[in-house]
Structure 1
């Protein structure tokens, strides 16, 4: 038999915790000295201790742990519970990280309030023909757009490659509000000839006679800052925007996201 101190070291828990489990009836000592009150444990009790700690670390309450231990949960069941809990924790971590990204982006928006970017240019944009796929996102939030546009581009690139077409310019995405949320259009410039039959849409994006353009550097999780800067500049410079911008991915998707470059293009007219 092992003293409570030795058993605690073997089980990688504290003596205080073993006393607590004893009081709750979760792990009773194999023997208690009637004179000294010292607790003694057997090596075979490590099996119950391991299950107790594993269940507790899965997020179960000690009451739930006790009920499961009473049912003599097997190793396979523990593995199943572990896999389920791992998936839950991974989803929670992903949600928390996405929330942090949104908070950081919102803070950057606040920090840039009143700061007018110096690199906004008014220019004409020629018409362009693109191959595209589209789908609907629930809203304009960056994570909702990203979860739709990224699979669209993967699918589109596979289809363009299968059609034997060649990319002739940067990818272009644009958006349109619809009653269900926002229609996301993922397009790529390729060597398309009229009259072809493809498993994607062929769209001619019209020329923009006057477009306010802004270069956004970095990943798209922070593009909302650039969008708000562009909107403030359009208003403060005496223009009226279309409310919808194109995203032209000049350098995107490879290497460090800090080096990615996207041009925002929004059609504008002079405010009356």
Structure 2
């Protein structure tokens, strides 16, 4: 037999872990000296220890590990435990992947801040336009909330336009407005059309009014990285004595759903003199 220290070394675990496993009845010593309280283990117990470590690494709790090793859990229950753990790990990987993408986007934004200048801003009049639109609600103005809300709208809108035999006559246009008094945002996904507004259709027909004066800037790339361009516009508006009015519009000059990094979007912010 082996002392607890020797057994810990053989199993590549800590003595503290073995004491804990003893305390929760996961791995009892083969013998406990009644006089000294010293714990002794047999070589055959290394198999149970290794299986316990493997199951724990899969994400099972120690109580679940003990139940599996003591045959209190049948194969169907074990499959259920492992499927649940697989789903949890998949969700964690997805969340970490999304978080990594946001960090990379933020880094790219910081890298381009110094290269983008307010000289690219153009002040112009925006004519009235009629659009067909679908709407959704996003949790906030953050690109990570706006993107999942707006991205499904355009394929669905174009599908409905095709079924209604309505052809877009200009670029797609999006804009956003707050929902109530909270952070929720109504997302408007529209396509420029020339149709009668009175006919019954499964999409709305909206007339966007003309904008006498708008500060505009062409953004190249994914809309997940639009913050840098919006900062340039905001700086230009502030430095030149203008005030933002109404809701900003996004005009998709080149809409690339499958390759958003190739997109070209004109940002339009209605402005007035202070």
Shift of 1:267: 0.8
Deviations 1:18-38 (A, max 9, x none): 99898847579xxxxxxxx98
Shift of 1:102: 3.3
1:60 matched to 2:60? The reply is: yes
Deviations 1:193-236 (A, max 9, x none): 34321011100111112111111111121112211221111111
Q: 2:235 aligns with which of 232, 235, 256?
A: 232
From the superposition, tell whether residues 257 and 178 of structure 1 become closer, same or farther in structure 2 (CA, over 3 Å): closer
Q: 2:192 aligns with which of 189, 192, 199?
A: 189
Q: 1:206 aligns with which of 204, 209, 216?
A: 209
**Counterpart in the other structure of 1:102:** 102
**Distance of 1:68 and 1:40 partners within structure 2:** 18
- 1:1-272 → structure 2 map (5 Å cutoff): 16-17=11-12, 24=21, 39=43, 52=52, 55-107=55-107, 112=113, 116-179=117-180, 180=182, 181-242=184-245, 244-271=247-274
RMSD (CA atoms):
3.3
From the superposition, tell whether residues 167 and 82 of structure 1 become closer, same or farther in structure 2 (CA, over 3 Å): farther
Aligned 8 A contact 1:124 1:208 in 2: yes
Q: TM-score, normalised by structure 2?
A: 0.76
Aligned 8 A contact 1:27 1:49 in 2: no
From the superposition, tell whether residues 163 and 102 of structure 1 become closer, same or farther in structure 2 (CA, over 3 Å): same
Instruction: After superposing the two structures, state which structure 1 stretch, 14-23 or 192-201, moved more.
Output: 14-23
From the superposition, tell whether residues 139 and 22 of structure 1 become closer, same or farther in structure 2 (CA, over 3 Å): closer
Could you tell me which runs of 5 or more consecutive residues in structure 2 were left unpaired when the two chains were aligned: 1-8, 29-40
Aligned 8 A contact 1:120 1:214 in 2: yes
**Distance of 2:237 and 2:95 partners within structure 1:** 34
Shift of 1:243: 5.4
**Distance of 1:17 and 1:191 partners within structure 2:** 74
Shift of 1:118: 2.7
Q: TM-score, normalised by structure 1?
A: 0.76
**Counterpart in the other structure of 1:10:** none
